[in-house]
Structure 1
């Protein structure tokens, strides 16, 4: 009876309605989702929401306080701060989402092959262990320093340290799935390897990869801001939250808003993504449902 009850609980957590109810029942998660949606919408519609060109220089208007013309004031070059913050979200969010997608795509492919073939696993995992031994920030700075600052280079610098984490996650799922009876039956029936990996093994990785993707997205946004703040990110003239804060640190004492506003949006985005990732993990993990029902 106990095993039947556990199976019923696990089945309930797999139903889309149950997962959606779990995600929306928590008011904190609802607020996080709304905040993230507002940030994303403001970045997408920045060309229509921004009152000025974010690159327009006006030295005569430098460090102006908030006004009707400049709602958040201007920076050290006379550029509208609100416009730069709105446009900065576009680059930062693109880097976060793009890094997550690329990391998961590459890590999924390597992890599937590594977990299914032991001789490949022995080689690949040693390489992954070597990459994970290097701190992410140091590796990212080294890649940017060697290749030059650009959007493509920054994304590459962020993706490289994230791939080993995805590979290890996928590998652990594959090692467990390949011992399941349905996989052994598919092998015994002579199914091709691509078919086995695609139809029987990969579906088991979707839930954990969704959760991992949210953490990679948040981490990528933060790393881009750190790189830009250290002067190793995207070109300073391009508006990103990290670049805006890097330019504003020299004027922090006389105008702290140059760091406050981009830092606020950066914090809201990262916190919201992490909260949604935690909630998604809880909704997709049957063991969380079992623990909640046992209380």
Structure 2
């Protein structure tokens, strides 16, 4: 009998010993490289005032469309402004909009989603409002908000955040509807725990993992939306350098100088891809089902 137990125990111990390797394997070279790229972009955004070799908004017509040189490492744009300096400062706008939209949408959507999933009376009202917001294309809604209130960083941030709130609310609501049927929640209700305690101690922790993943998606989506709005001329004013503005101004000179679009477009793609890869890695780490299995077989 002992031999049989040992035979059954040995594979279990082997699987248990392989679990750390499997978890580490989930953070492969792609996720590590994405983290390093995002860290570099963040440092560039924070240190732009010290890294930029020139004033990003100072025009000098005598230097317009200069090629790359020692004085201008990436050349200049149609107004004689240093392209490298404008790209460095543009990282600030992108990260500010992305992080701001993610934080604000989660801060507003989390309590609304908890209330919608737990209180059936509020569920119908809140969901109809959220469905109405989701029925409007996010880019069109952002353009309408910016057109009515004027172009500025905070206006663009609000315009991008509004369409993201319903997605957070629906996600939290789905998690709460599933978690409220669990035995530990029913036991908390049976012993007379207060509603705030049930929601914030028993229900909200279940939403953290999917919210973190959703937050990374919102951050990447907000950065892309801001670039689209700026490219269309409905975003941040042209006096403020952003990757979308740089590409919008450079499209008229694309055949003459493709670098005006290539470099900001490359950094925009790298930034969004890095955030998405880190979001996938966070999902794999925070998913309790994957933790119980020790990773995929």
Alignment RMSD, CA only? 2.1
Q: How many pairs are equivalent?
A: 282
**What is the distance in 2 between the residues matched to 1:217 and 1:149?**
20
CA change 1:18–1:96 in 2 (3 A) is farther
CA contact (8 A) 2:22 2:295 kept: no
**Equivalent in 50, 60, 63 of residue 61 of structure 1:** 63
1:99 equivalent among 98, 101, 104: 101
Q: What stretches of structure 1 of length at least 5 have no aligned partner?
A: 1-7
Name the structure 1 match of 2:29.
27
Match of 2:38 in 1: 36
For 2:80 and 2:200, how far apart are their aligned partners in 1?
54
* Cα separation, 2, equivalents of 1:23 and 1:191: 39
Separation in 2, partners of 1:235, 1:64: 24
Q: Aligned residue for 1:159?
A: 161
Determine if contact 1:22/1:283 at 8 Å carries over to the other structure.
Answer: no
- CA drift of 1:253 comes to 0.9
Partner Cα distance (2:296, 2:96) in 1: 41
Match of 1:251 among 250, 253, 259: 253
Measured after TM superposition, the shift of residue 19 of structure 1 is 9.5
Deviation at 1:287, TM superposition (A): 3.9
Query: Partner residue of 1:88?
Result: 90
Contact 1:19 1:284 in 2 (8 A): no
Cross-structure match for 1:170: 172
CA–CA distance in structure 2, aligned partners of residues 93 and 110 of structure 1: 26
Q: How does 1:122-137 map to 2 (within 5 A)?
A: 122-137=124-139
The 5 A counterparts of 1:232-243 are: 232-243=234-245
Matching residue of 1:220: 222
How far did 1:286 drift? 3.9
Give the aligned partner of residue 6 of structure 2. none
